[in-house]
Amino acid sequence: MSIYIGSNRTVLEGEDARKKLEQDNDLKWLTGKAGVLQIDQARWQKAQEFELKTWMVDGRWTHEDNNNFHKKAFGDYEVLRGMSFKNGIELGCGPFTNLRHVGGVTKVGEIYLLDPLIKKYLKHPFCRYKGGQMWIWERLVTNVNWPRRKSVQVIEGSIEDFQTEKKFDLILLINVLEHCQNVEAVWQKVLDIAAPGAVLVFADKYYDGVHLTEVLKDRYDAGHPIKVDQSVIDDFLAKHWEVLYRQVVEKKGRAGRTSWDDYKAVYYIGRKKDD
């Protein structure tokens, strides 16, 4: 069945979707079997409209964005337990962040959060970093959780446009790539801001580039424009990072959600290789 999900989150199905897909689809962005690696500013803005409505209207009373699911898929971040980082950044942090979970098993000195919508998210009733403070439930050694309030620095902007001289010991990029504008620019920025020996915590969907032509004829999902073949992700990770943790999770699609079809996602933690 054809599905068209617009930037205002309305969903068309069947014949209505098929007609809409004839005028508007993402096939033009396909780069062979590698998938959709880059879109233009206007297409990215549609994804941002979708994202804004997701959290500030439809998800206004939500407390989290699958962050507990991600935590489980990362094995509760156990491989990171006890590690100390001078600083850490979550790229595309959303309103709720995954850093509050990672911070529970590690020590992170300075915390930075970056998202193009971050100033808007600060107004979300359950934003986890309201007023530049984030509660982290520390569980470093014992089974007892200790709440700790950490200051965070918020950065409004996209990864691709992020200008900084700073290097980060810990970088999180979880469920963000498929929302971005330019995969190569994102990879390059992650490498540019990584301190020697930095740890990357990464998760995103694996697509099969061979079938994307068929998929994109039948599906438009305003909020998730980037769709990369598994090899694009695996090549980047294998080339620049030493694996500390890797798990591939298969998820069943849920009609009515944007993940309409079954999909695979990779959960990966790696340490930066020497250049």
Ligand X SMILES: C[S@@+](CC[C@H](N)C(=O)[O-])C[C@H]1O[C@@H](n2cnc3c(N)ncnc32)[C@H](O)[C@@H]1O
Sheet holding 11-13, edge to edge: 11-13, 3-5, 219-221
Residue 40 phi/psi, 5-degree rounding, is: -90, 175
- Number of other residues whose CB lies within 10 A of the CB of residue 188: 13
Give the span between the Cα atoms of 18 and 13, in whole angstroms. 8
Residue 178 Cα distances to 57, 126, 134, angstroms: 21, 24, 26
Closest approach, Cβ 201 to ligand X, in A, equals 10
9, 25 contact by CB (below 8 A): no
Looking at the Cβ atoms of 31 and 259, the one nearer to ligand X is: 259
Closest approach, Cβ 16 to ligand X, in A, equals 26
Looking at the Cβ atoms of 87 and 158, the one nearer to ligand X is: 158
Give the span between the Cα atoms of 112 and 99, in whole angstroms. 9
Looking at the Cβ atoms of 51 and 169, the one nearer to ligand X is: 51
Closest approach, Cβ 106 to ligand X, in A, equals 17
Looking at the Cβ atoms of 21 and 206, the one nearer to ligand X is: 206
Closest approach, Cβ 260 to ligand X, in A, equals 16
Q: Which chain residues interact with ligand X by CB under 6 A?
A: 51, 65, 67, 91-94, 96, 98, 115-117, 158-160, 174-176, 179-181
Closest-approach residue to ligand X (CB): 94
Closest approach, Cβ 39 to ligand X, in A, equals 10
30, 36 contact by CB (below 8 A): yes
CA geometry: angle 258, 261, 262, nearest 5 deg:
120
Closest approach, Cβ 85 to ligand X, in A, equals 18
Looking at the Cβ atoms of 160 and 218, the one nearer to ligand X is: 160
Give the span between the Cα atoms of 148 and 133, in whole angstroms. 10
Looking at the Cβ atoms of 169 and 204, the one nearer to ligand X is: 204
